[in-house]
Amino acid sequence: MTGKTYAARPRRFGVVLASLALIATACTSGDAETQGSDEADAAPAELSISPDTGEENLPPNSPINVAAEGGSITGVAVDQSVGDDDEDDSDLYDMTGTLNEDDTEWVSDWNLRPGAEVVVTATAENEAGEETELVHEFTTEEAPEGSRLGLASNFPNSGDTVGVGMPVVINFDRPVTNKVEVENSMDVESEEEIAGAWNWVDDQMAVFRPEEYWEPHQQVSVDLNLAGVEAADGVYGNRNHKIDFEVGRELIATMHVPDHEMEIEIDGEHDRTFEVSNGAANREFDTTTSGTHVLMERHEDLTMDAATLGIDEDDPDYYRLDVKYAVRTSNSGEFVHEMSSNGNIGSANTSNGCTNLRMDDAEWFFENTLMGDILDTTGTDREFKWDNGWGYWQMSWDEWLEASETGEPQVTDGSGTPAPVHGDV
């Protein structure tokens, strides 16, 4: 079955087939009786399962293949138990699979847990509705300490409510070289389906971005089916993870820097206008970047120290400021924050590159925006870079998709990822 293409089907495999009952009446013809007799004499369906039963210490990225002859596959159940099973997350390891068009071949969607005792139970029915069952048992090798792929951090976290521009950011604890397999092990599903794709900022950071902004007011789930995936030579994912978050209302902030104003639009309606002061633009360092920014972390109180940007204390451009209500918009030191001492708010751009607001406006912005909200900025000659913070919307969809390791979109309708996750076995 290696290399076989499967028809698009729901990944959550569960099949219930009703047996056809032949009802005899006084008008039943001889043909009907012959047909019933043929069905009664039908040979049982034959099942085969790979890997073979009794095999030990298989690579956890081994696929499970089930095939039926003389009938149709009606069910496949995969139990994966390990010594440190946690009942609270056992549902993270429910194995799904994909059937071919005539229900005679099934292949597992995801890899297997390392160090697991695996029991595969498959059933099939022949034309007469008679059931055949086959059970295989085998074990997978462990992923030893020092050779396990895990999560260092992720954004958003489960339970977060985010803005419509929110990317899914996954930071791994070690470098990934088999990026295709890892990319295809991470499945994103949303209530409002949309095409999206993963990209790699570096060997340890993968980012999912939809083709367009998320539809507001919906739930999104990210299934990180990392257990068993070979991330690098001899390095396997050890656990699965799930992230559930909510996309809230749509908030878009816009600024044309020369106008000294910020417009706030919520769910398509103008909400308010703030007077602002942006970067003085005497040099690149203090020029506010133009582009689509995604709001990131926030601090009610923040000391802004130019040393964090590589500017020494004896440099004329050095500064150290204590500010309130700071919301990060880039990794190059740009924030939207309070700077009530700036008397040029609303009339001139005199900041070090940040967006300065008066106290009340800064407090409103801090309390009413979400991680993932959008700030669109125009009017400067310093372009916001796609890899500066969460500048991922700076790439067109075609550019983003082309840079994906698979080069194929992932539709968030539950149909699964674009390509296999298993090794070359």
Instruction: Indicate which residues carry an active-site annotation.
Output: 337, 354
Q: Which helix (H) or strand (E) holds 37?
A: helix 30-40
**Residue entry with tokens 């219930």:** 16
Q: Cα(224)–Cα(308) distance, rounded to whole angstroms?
A: 34
Four-residue CA torsion sign, 386, 380, 363, 299: positive
Q: Which helix (H) or strand (E) holds 97?
A: strand 97-99
Residue 10: asked if its preceding bond is cis (omega within 30°), the reply is: no
Nearest partner of 400 among 205, 208, 223, judged by Cα: 208
Residue 346, Ramachandran bin (φ over 0: left; ψ between -120 and 50: alpha; else beta): left
Q: What are phi and psi of 270, to 5 degrees?
A: -65, 130
Give how far Cα 416 sits from Cα of 59, 113, 224, 230, 276, Å. 23, 19, 12, 19, 45
Q: Cα(266)–Cα(124) distance, rounded to whole angstroms?
A: 54
Local structure of residue 75 (DSSP, 8 states): E
CB 78 within 8 Å of CB 63: no
- In sequence order, what are the residues at sequence separation of 6 or more whose Cβ sits closer than 8 angstroms to the Cβ of residue 5? none
Q: How many CA atoms lie within 13 A of 359 on its CB side?
A: 3
Q: How many CA atoms lie within 13 A of 417 on its CB side?
A: 28
- In sequence order, what are the residues at sequence separation of 6 or more whose Cβ sits closer than 8 angstroms to the Cβ of residue 353? 278, 279, 285, 286, 287, 288, 289, 332, 333, 334
CB 138 within 8 Å of CB 54: yes
